[in-house]
């Protein structure tokens, strides 16, 4: 059980600016485990484990319960949000963000039940293991990251010409006028999610000869599919005719299909799969008493609960995005403004309501395909281990190939790249066939931009699936040396030289502190293939535990006794040193005037050296050569790759150290005192530089303004062992 509250000193300490105290988050974990082992015969063992875990998670923002009318918003906006779940809205400006950390509200109750059994049978040279694991996961969940709405401002409305802003305009000026670039308020339903998992395995450890051991295994997984107690979820089917076709007199494809209907048989978001077989093999061969070769490989399937929003909480049926209509002509003219951002009121999440199909029109719809691929990885390794002069050394190669990986969401509703030639014609206002039908967002107006109607599914502003279309390749050389000392202690050095190439990154980008590189054109995966945002070419880790040779029976003071021995003996040190290359930097560009609703990266000048040499402290205002990059012209994509292979973040050079003293009290009792130093030398790891190329006059492109690690921390501990 615990309450976590993080804070750091800021100017205002009112919870409204980035860096102010984050809202307290309450965690309570309750668990029970029962296990028993039965010796059925001298060669047969049966194990059984039963476990239960219940997890509470509550996040309470500091401004929870605020009356929005007291800060200038209309009553209609206030009334559309639950009274006990409203927070101060979030205001995002190019230069800063207000209420950046105090808006998210969470209420979660999770129950996890597990049964696992293993039967071990020894038969001659074979040791067989048969087992099963059954899991039931129930999750009652509510989350709204924008419980008071979020409103972002840029320089376009206040620029000299929004279609060609250059360095004119300012986001704060737009904020003062109430001219919002984009605004959002979400209405949420509490969901009751459930998942069932089954796994069965057989493994044989075969002692072929005294020198050769072979491990053969096969795991069969039935991953389980997401269900919701009241069936408030649906899958995205982009091949079916949308019912709005009858109202507008033309056929449009794509619809969200409710589970447990003729269009989506069954209550699960995806049909259960019974074909996830995962073979594994391992080989160990002993050439002599000091040399061993090991190799292995296997298939590993991505769990069905790895994509957070595949559960019902992420469905537009339960988390409804009310999008503000801020402009309809590329920020030339404002439509709705901050003082009354949603003049027609807020639409509540429809659940399984009869009118859900009509309500989600005009939204960026996010839901899995019913036939989404199931992701998996193939992993393999080969190693040679040798004892040399008292050292255990190892040289290994490890590889991985990822197939059907997800990036957490892939937009299938992007305007085709072939329409870029239309240029400003994409912004031409044309009659909106959905006027009077769509209830919110740009498609609720009489006219709409031509580009919107050129989308594959024009009734939506996005159609995001789980996106199990990604691939990854990883190769590494791994070297290790270990020395164990007869007097106590050990020394370990491990070095890795590796390369990771991907076209997707992570299902949990919100956990990666802005590290992930963005995507520019999801319709052209070839252009998204690059070094991963997590590629670290070189990594060296040194760890050690040493008992110092002082005290009775040791090299120094070996014959000492009494109180002097208590003071002198039992001293030791341990520590970990980590040296690592920084991750490659992903670039972005603004203003984004592709007109396709995608991300944007800058252009990089041919032959321009993007690298700036010198120590990190000397280039905090020019981490890279800013002059090499430029914002692409309107309706064009940038030329830089998803991550720039030549520009990396600041690496790690961290030293953790501890000194400890054990004092024997009785034969079975001792007391241990420790002093631990984290980041011993107080070295700074500089944070991510501003990676957004912009035409704005106040650009800090290439500037480093943050620290990625923590300052030196010293802590003391006293422990009684008995």
Instruction: Summarize pLDDT for 180-217 with one digit per residue, the tens.
Output: 998 999 999 999 999 999 999 999 999 999 999 999 99
For 24-51, what is the mean pLDDT? 93
Residue 531 CA to residue 720 CA, distance in Å, equals 49
Residue 604 CA to residue 678 CA, distance in Å, equals 40
Question: Which pLDDT does position 300 carry in this prediction?
Answer: 97
For 309-324, what is the mean pLDDT? 88
For 453-460, what is the mean pLDDT? 94
Q: What is the pLDDT of residues 90-137, one digit of tens each?
A: 888 876 666 555 567 888 999 999 999 999 999 999 999 999 999 999
Residue 179 CA to residue 337 CA, distance in Å, equals 5
Q: What is the pLDDT of residues 639-682, one digit of tens each?
A: 999 998 899 999 999 999 999 998 888 878 889 899 999 999 99
Residues 6+ apart with CB under 8 A from 567: none
Instruction: Tell which wins on pLDDT, 103 or 15.
Output: 103
For 30-39, what is the mean pLDDT? 96
Residue 567 inside a domain? The answer is yes
Phi, psi for residue 248 in degrees, rounded to 5: -100, -5
Q: How many domains does the chain have?
A: 1
Instruction: Tell which wins on pLDDT, 7 or 312.
Output: 312
Q: What is the pLDDT of residues 524-537, one digit of tens each?
A: 888 889 999 999 99
Question: Which pLDDT does position 486 carry in this prediction?
Answer: 79
Is the pLDDT reported for residue 418 higher than 90?
Answer: no
Residue 10 CA to residue 20 CA, distance in Å, equals 6
Question: Which pLDDT does position 439 carry in this prediction?
Answer: 83
Q: What is the dihedral of CA 181, 708, 16, 58, to 10 degrees?
A: 100
Instruction: Tell which wins on pLDDT, 698 or 147.
Output: 147
Residue 260 inside a domain? The answer is no
The sheet that has 90-92: what strands, in order across it? 97-98, 90-92, 150-152, 182-188, 319-323
What string of H, E and C letters represents the secondary structure of 441-477?
CHHHCCEEEHHHHCCCCCCCCEEEECCCCEEEEEEEE
Type and span of the H or E element at 246: helix 245-248
Is the pLDDT reported for residue 6 higher than 80?
Answer: no
Q: 420 by DSSP, 3-state: which?
A: helix
Question: Which pLDDT does position 7 carry in this prediction?
Answer: 38
High-pLDDT (> 70) share of the chain, %: 94
Q: 320 by DSSP, 3-state: which?
A: strand
Half-sphere exposure (Cβ direction) of 602: Cα atoms closer than 13 Å: 25
Residues spanned by the domain of 658: 544-580+654-684
**pLDDT interval class at 16 (50, 70, 90):** low
Residue 187 CA to residue 320 CA, distance in Å, equals 5
Residue 674 inside a domain? The answer is yes
Question: Which pLDDT does position 698 carry in this prediction?
Answer: 65
Residue 549 inside a domain? The answer is yes
Residue 573 inside a domain? The answer is yes
Question: Which pLDDT does position 452 carry in this prediction?
Answer: 92
Residues 6+ apart with CB under 8 A from 683: 653, 654, 655, 709
Is the pLDDT reported for residue 417 higher than 80?
Answer: yes
Half-sphere exposure (Cβ direction) of 668: Cα atoms closer than 13 Å: 1
Question: Which pLDDT does position 514 carry in this prediction?
Answer: 61
For 626-632, what is the mean pLDDT? 92
Q: Look over the chain and give the mean of its residue pLDDT values, rounded to a whole number.
A: 89
Q: Which of 228, 229, 252, 267 is nearest to 370 (CA)?
A: 267
Is the pLDDT reported for residue 721 higher than 60?
Answer: yes
**pLDDT interval class at 596 (50, 70, 90):** confident
Question: Which pLDDT does position 282 carry in this prediction?
Answer: 97
Q: What is the pLDDT of residues 696-709, one digit of tens each?
A: 766 789 999 889 99
Residue 312 inside a domain? The answer is no
Vertex 664 angle, CA 659 and 665, to 5°? 130
Residue 565 CA to residue 544 CA, distance in Å, equals 25
Q: What is the pLDDT of residues 46-92, one digit of tens each?
A: 999 999 999 998 887 777 788 889 988 999 998 888 877 788 888 88
Question: Which pLDDT does position 5 carry in this prediction?
Answer: 38
Question: Which pLDDT does position 616 carry in this prediction?
Answer: 93
Sign of CA dihedral 356, 358, 364, 366: positive
Residue 238 inside a domain? The answer is no
Is the pLDDT reported for residue 19 higher than 50?
Answer: no
């Amino acid at each position: 059980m615990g309450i976590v509250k993080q804070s750091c000193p800021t100017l205002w300490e009112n919870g409204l600016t980035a860096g102010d105290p984050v809202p307290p988050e309450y965690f309570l974990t309750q668990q029970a485990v029962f296990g028993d082992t039965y010796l059925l015969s001298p060669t047969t063992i049966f194990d059984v484990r039963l476990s239960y875990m219940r997890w509470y998670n509550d996040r309470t923002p500091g401004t929870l319960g605020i009356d929005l009318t007291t800060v200038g918003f209309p009553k209609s906006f206030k009334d559309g949000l639950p009274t006990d779940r409203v927070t101060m809205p979030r205001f995002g400006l190019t230069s800063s963000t207000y209420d950046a950390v105090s808006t998210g509200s969470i209420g979660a109750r999770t129950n996890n039940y597990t049964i696992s059994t293993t039967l071990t049978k020894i038969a001659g040279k074979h040791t067989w293991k048969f087992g099963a694991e059954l899991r039931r996961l129930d999750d009652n969940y509510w989350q709204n990251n924008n419980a008071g709405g979020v409103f972002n401002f840029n320089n376009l409305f206040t620029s000299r010409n929004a279609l060609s802003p250059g360095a004119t305009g300012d986001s704060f000026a737009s904020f003062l006028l109430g001219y919002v670039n984009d605004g959002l308020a979400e209405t949420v339903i509490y969901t009751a999610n459930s998942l069932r998992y089954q796994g069965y395995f057989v493994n044989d450890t075969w002692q072929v000869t005294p020198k050769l051991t072979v491990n053969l295994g096969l795991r069969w997984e039935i991953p389980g599919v997401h269900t919701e107690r009241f069936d408030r979820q649906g899958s995205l089917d982009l091949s079916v005719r949308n019912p709005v076709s009858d109202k507008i007199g033309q056929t449009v494809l794509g619809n969200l299909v409710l589970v447990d209907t003729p269009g989506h048989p069954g209550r699960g978001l995806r049909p259960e799969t019974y074909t996830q077989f995962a073979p594994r093999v391992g080989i160990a061969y002993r050439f002599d008493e000091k040399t061993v070769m090991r190799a292995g490989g296997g298939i590993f399937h991505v769990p069905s609960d790895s994509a957070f929003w595949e559960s019902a909480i992420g469905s537009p049926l339960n988390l409804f995005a009310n999008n503000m209509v801020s402009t309809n002509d590329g920020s030339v003219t404002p439509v709705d403004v901050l003082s009354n951002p949603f003049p027609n009121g807020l639409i509540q999440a429809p659940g399984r309501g009869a009118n859900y199909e009509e309500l989600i029109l005009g939204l960026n719809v996010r839901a899995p395909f019913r036939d989404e691929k199931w992701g998996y990885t193939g992993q393999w390794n080969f190693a040679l281990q040798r004892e040399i002069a008292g050292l255990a050394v190892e040289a290994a190669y490890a590889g991985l190939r990822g197939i059907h990986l997800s990036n957490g969401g892939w937009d299938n509703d992007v305007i085709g790249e072939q329409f870029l030639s239309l240029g400003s014609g994409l912004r031409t206002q044309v009659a909106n066939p959905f006027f009077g039908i769509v209830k919110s967002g740009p498609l609720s107006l009489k006219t709409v931009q031509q580009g919107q109607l050129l989308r594959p599914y024009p009734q939506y502003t996005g159609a995001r699936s789980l996106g199990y279309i990604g691939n990854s390749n990883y190769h590494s050389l791994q070297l290790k040396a270990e020395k164990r000392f007869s007097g106590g202690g050990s020394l370990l050095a491990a070095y890795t030289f590796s390369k990771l190439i991907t076209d997707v990154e992570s299902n949990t980008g919100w956990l990666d502190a802005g590290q992930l590189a963005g995507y520019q054109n999801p319709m052209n995966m070839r252009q998204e293939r690059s070094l991963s945002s997590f590629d670290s070419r070189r990594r060296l880790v040194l760890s050690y535990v040493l008992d110092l040779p002082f005290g009775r029976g040791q090299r120094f003071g070996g014959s000492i006794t009494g109180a002097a021995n208590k003071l002198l003996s039992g001293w030791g040190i341990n520590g970990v040193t980590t040296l690592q290359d920084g991750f490659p930097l992903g670039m972005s560009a603004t203003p984004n005037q592709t007109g396709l609703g995608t991300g944007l990266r800058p252009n990089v000048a041919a032959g321009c050296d993007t690298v700036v040499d010198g120590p990190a402290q000397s280039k905090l205002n020019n981490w890279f050569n800013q002059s090499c990059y430029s914002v692409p012209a309107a309706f064009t994509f940038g030329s830089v790759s998803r991550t720039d292979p030549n520009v990396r973040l600041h690496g790690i050079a961290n030293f953790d150290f501890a000194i400890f003293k054990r004092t024997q009290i009785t034969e079975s009792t001792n007391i241990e005192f420790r002093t631990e130093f984290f980041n011993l030398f107080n070295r700074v790891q500089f944070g991510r530089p501003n990676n957004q190329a912009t035409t704005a006059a106040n650009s800090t492109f290439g500037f480093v303004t943050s620290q990625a690690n923590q300052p030196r921390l010293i802590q003391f501990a006293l422990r009684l062992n008995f």
